[in-house]
Copies of this chain bind each other. A is one copy, B any other.
């Protein structure tokens, strides 16, 4: 198969677009798709100070690289969230060296007596992914606000977003519809705008982009994400896409925009400021501060009951799981 642009040997065939490209022209295609998403959804401009949430995975590494190459003013942010992020941190450091973009490293465990998300999850008896989400969303936004960034960029691609929508429709979780969009405007002075510039590219295209550019990334998925229902939804959506190329794009960019507007109009969310940290929340005290407080209280109880195991026991259980 030949490249559509130069007739050299193609390295990738994109069925949804019915084209094939050589390395050089695929990279050009990918970056044009990223630029198109930025323009179509008015995500940000050259003057914006952009913070990219970096995990060491292919998506966030690709978006950081592409935005730098497209001439945007970007920095990265990596959150250290416990021992399980040590390997990712090493990859992120090599990413910084390799592409010459500053990547801030912020350690969230300092707010939890040095505990990582899996240990916190064990204390409060909730799924690790839920705890990780609360801590990550909170610090990504707070770091951006406190350091003068106007936009927070994440590496969500077309597959991620279409899969998320697919699952939410199957269960009609319409409360998530309003917030699922390539760009989310700032709704409070202590929120930054959020944007997903990879919304027009697939997982496969992003893989190809990081490989062809030798961008450092970590192949291994998060050890806590195994067996998530969303992986099955992704599988079914891939089957549908293979029979009907473009199906993911149609699902995400068809009537859903109208539907989102309708649902959004129905939802009137009033934001207050958290009584502890001052960041926006719908309740008196934000979810993150309540989590910090619960861990703090467990520590107090833990010291009181240290002879009966207390919190130390919980910590040991989790470290076994992590090993």
Contacts and interface: CB of A to CB of B under 8 A. Distances in A.
Interface string A146-188: 0000000000000000000000011110100000000000000
Contact of A250 (B170, B239, B247, B259): B170
A41 interface: no
Contacts of A256: 172
Contacts of A170: 240, 247, 250-251
A250 B169 contact: no
A244 B232 CA distance: 11
Contacts of A169: 169, 251
A63 B256 CA distance: 36
A223 interface: no
A272 B254 CA distance: 31
B243 A172 contact: no
Contacts of A229: 243-244
Contact of A172 (B174, B239, B244, B251): B251
Copies of this chain present in the complex amount to: 2
A46 to B, nearest CB: 34
A262 interface: yes
A172 B260 CA distance: 13
Contacts of A243: 229, 232
A239 B236 CA distance: 9
Interface string A239-272: 1100110010011001110010010000000000
A171 B240 CA distance: 11
Contacts of A250: 170-172
A174 B255 contact: yes
Best-buried of A169, A239, A247, A250 by chain B (most CB within 10 Å)? A169
Interface string A220-242: 00000000010010001001100
Interface in A256-301: 256, 259, 262
A237 to B, nearest CB: 9
A229 to B, nearest CB: 8
Contacts of A232: 240, 243
Interface in A8-27: none
A210 B40 CA distance: 55
A112 B135 CA distance: 70
B254 A172 contact: yes
Given A172-B251, A259-B259, 15 more contacts: A169-B251, A170-B247, A170-B250, A170-B251, A171-B247, A171-B250, A171-B251, A172-B250, A172-B255, A172-B256, A229-B243, A229-B244, A236-B236, A236-B240, A262-B262
Query: Sorted from nearest, which 5 A-B pairs have the closest CB atoms?
Result: A172-B254, A172-B255, A236-B236, A174-B255, A262-B262
Interface of A: 169-172, 174, 229, 232, 236, 239-240, 243-244, 247, 250-251, 254-256, 259, 262
